[in-house]
Amino acid sequence: MTVLDERREIEQVVEGRTVLDAMTRTVATHGDRPAYSDQVASGTSTPTGAWRTLTWSELHETACAVAATLVAHGLERGATVAIMATNRIEHVVADHAALLAGGVPMSIYNTLAPEQVSYIAGHAEPQVVLLEAADHLERWRRALSEVGSIRLVVGIGDAVYDDPRFVTWDDLIAEGRDLPQAEVDARAAAVRPEDPATILYTSGTTGDPKGVVLTHANVVYGCESTLRRNGREPSNVTLSYLPYAHIAERILSMYLPPYHGDWHVHLVGDPGVLVPALVDVRPIQFFGVPRVWEKIRAGLAGMLAQEADADRRAAIEGAMRIGLEYVESLQEGRTASPELQQRYDAVSAAVLTPVRARLGLDRVTWAGCASAPLPVEVARVFAGLGLAINDIYGMTETCGAATGCGPGKFRLGTVGTALPGVELAIADDGEVLMRGPITTVGYHRRPEATSQLVDADGWVHSGDIGSIDDDGYLSIVDRKKELIITSAGKNVAPSNIESLLKESPIIGHALAYGDDRPYVVALLTLDAEVAPVVAKARGIDFTDLADLAAKPEIRAMAESAVDTANTRLSRPEQVKSFELLPTEWTAESEELTPTLKLKRRVVHTKYADVIDRLYGWRPDPGISLRRHHS
């Protein structure tokens, strides 16, 4: 079957369907089943530790009440509804309510600065704004006073706004339950596949955010093609912890659950409690960006390092070698030999499953990763546990996944093959191009940016450099604009260097630099969770992360990480000098995006003096600098 045949087949299945149709069908067939759970007390932003749950019927009924109130307060058809909140039940209900009322929901990153919020509000002109916390209100305060389109401000949690437009979430629902539903029903019935299902403003690293318009047709096609690649579980239990402004999280826990039907999504508002939530929920499917998998890997390394019984540690390491051999044997749809299957079954039952259980991953049948290429060594560690992490590739502009690994389509070190019905190509300069029903209709009110994204033939220009092998597996090299070109004219992919540096459990983040310079240098930060554990195990006394970064023993471990990485890099790629910084990089400190990707230009600017010293060897009395020779 050709790619166009696959596309026609899926288009026939999803023809005429919308996100609202999917919800209606699921409410009818699984209405009394649990839909979403969270650990937030209603009307607050406070975690309770106990799960509260809505069934599919309860979710839909609550959303209908909210939709009726939105209509009563003047929400017009096609108008935007902005939501800034953590992953909690009210966020999902508000999103669905906006669609029912004929509006277009927009989840806004919780970490955006007030200036960015004001830009988005002025550009999208929302008529309704829903805010959870007092911090969110502060980020919106300027926009609320300046943007004239805003008619209603809703406090989901502890956000309280002294303004006649303000209403609490509970009052919003109470009002809606007493209102007629006729207008809501009429608006919901009028929604068409070509209408926007959401607008997502990309977090970006430079310039103003761009609003990606995704239609109901984009979403339902993306759901169907994703399920065909990943497989359909009879029922599913998942965790949702990435921001709903991230397309991967919207697809996996906002759109796929009602499209599939019998899914129970556990919402985690604070990613810092992800690990205990994993152990508590024991999901059947689990998705993580590379940084999440790296942190779980670091936790596993710490667990093994603290294993006092040498025989037990050796047994785990031996079992993981068999697990890796087993997962590798399943690549490209192959099957394991009977002898290997027998060995794997034995160590899985006795060793690997208990280890996975300590991580909360013992029930996982599908694991995924996207947002950036997963370092192959991280993937190999989890393969050692018998867990194949399916790397996925796509963009907000392609409604999430355009390629992916999956059952029968798995190969370590690649992001899989094109999803059913999606065309994939490599341009003459190495840029990855994609085309299909998942393609955005454009950037909201930005026709010039849209024309730069999608060419006249319908190909989306990704901005990524990649290659496709003879079997159709795509490998991503790096961002086109982020490739380092040294002063000697050598092209270097920084992400490859950074992945190797982060294989050290004490390294949290790494940035390689070398554009127009004679060689590559690196900025390193400690892993705030693992490095202290390693230090305590070695008897190293320290007061905080900055103090720890200055300890000779820790700096020696960082130098060893550079040495080890350099043995696997070509000479132009090798790191000749590095600095272990006394700080942690986070979204709040602005070195990372809300989805934990590096903001390279921010780091370049913020640490320009350190980078200059790495090349000029001008010591600073406040920073301990160490040169690395190779």
DSSP per-residue codes, 20-39: HHHHHHHHHHHTTSEEEEEE
Tell me: the pLDDT tens digits for 378-418?
Answer: 999 999 999 999 999 999 999 999 999 999 999 999 999 99
Asked if 590 and 601 count as a contact pair (C-beta separation under 8 A), the reply is no
Nearest to 549 by CA among 628, 622, 600, 630: 622
Q: Kindly state whether residues 380 and 515 are assigned to the same domain.
A: no
Q: Kindly state whether residues 75 and 186 are assigned to the same domain.
A: yes
Residue 272: Cβ within 10 Å count:
10
Q: Kindly state whether residues 494 and 463 are assigned to the same domain.
A: no
Q: Kindly state whether residues 545 and 423 are assigned to the same domain.
A: no
Q: Kindly state whether residues 560 and 475 are assigned to the same domain.
A: no
Residue 56 pLDDT:
98
The verdict on residue 233 lying in a domain is no
Token duo for residue 454: 């999608």
Question: Residue written as tokens 């294993």?
Answer: 307
Sign (positive/negative) of CA torsion 607, 611, 616, 621?
positive
Q: Kindly state whether residues 291 and 437 are assigned to the same domain.
A: yes
Tell me the C-alpha distance between 299 and 386, whole Å: 17
Asked if 453 and 444 count as a contact pair (C-beta separation under 8 A), the reply is no
**What's the chain's length in residues?**
630
Q: Kindly state whether residues 579 and 529 are assigned to the same domain.
A: yes
3-state helix, strand, coil in the chain (%, to 5): 45, 20, 35
Instruction: Answer whether residue 234 shows pLDDT above 90.
Output: no
Tell me: the pLDDT tens digits for 551-560?
Answer: 999 999 999 9
DSSP class of residue 331 equals: G
> Which amino acid does the sequence have at 83?
I
Number of helices and strands in the chain (H, E): 24, 27
Q: Coil, strand or helix: which one is 404?
A: strand
Cβ neighbourhood burial of 271 (10 Å; 0-12, 13-18, 19+): middle
Q: For residue 486, report the phi and psi dihedrals to the nearest 5 degrees.
A: -70, 170
pTM of the model: 0.87
Q: Kindly state whether residues 300 and 169 are assigned to the same domain.
A: no
Residue 207 pLDDT:
67
Average pLDDT in the 604-615 region?
94
- Of 20-24, 118-122, 252-256, 375-379, the one with minimum mean pLDDT is 375-379
Residue 593 pLDDT:
85
The verdict on residue 13 lying in a domain is no
State the residue range of the domain holding 553. 483-627
Residue 619 pLDDT:
43
Cα dihedral 52/43/148/243 (nearest 10): -40
Query: Which residues have CB under 8 Å from 576's CB, separation 6+?
Result: 519, 520, 521, 628, 629, 630
Residue 4 pLDDT:
96
Q: Kindly state whether residues 500 and 413 are assigned to the same domain.
A: no
Cα 415 → chain centroid: 15
Look up the CATH number of the domain holding residue 156.
3.40.50.12780
Mean pLDDT for the chain overall: 93
Pairing status of strand 104-107 against strand 47-55: unpaired
Tell me the C-alpha distance between 628 and 575, whole Å: 8
Cα 539 → chain centroid: 36
Among 140, 166, 191, residue at a domain's last position? 191
Q: Kindly state whether residues 144 and 167 are assigned to the same domain.
A: yes
The verdict on residue 267 lying in a domain is no
The verdict on residue 605 lying in a domain is yes
Cα 435 → chain centroid: 22
> Which amino acid does the sequence have at 56?
W
The verdict on residue 272 lying in a domain is no
Among 154, 169, 191, residue at a domain's last position? 191
Q: Kindly state whether residues 91 and 125 are assigned to the same domain.
A: yes
Q: How many domains does the chain have?
A: 3
Q: How far is CA 304 from CA 25, 291, 295, 381, 537, in A?
A: 47, 20, 14, 12, 12
Residue 68 pLDDT:
98
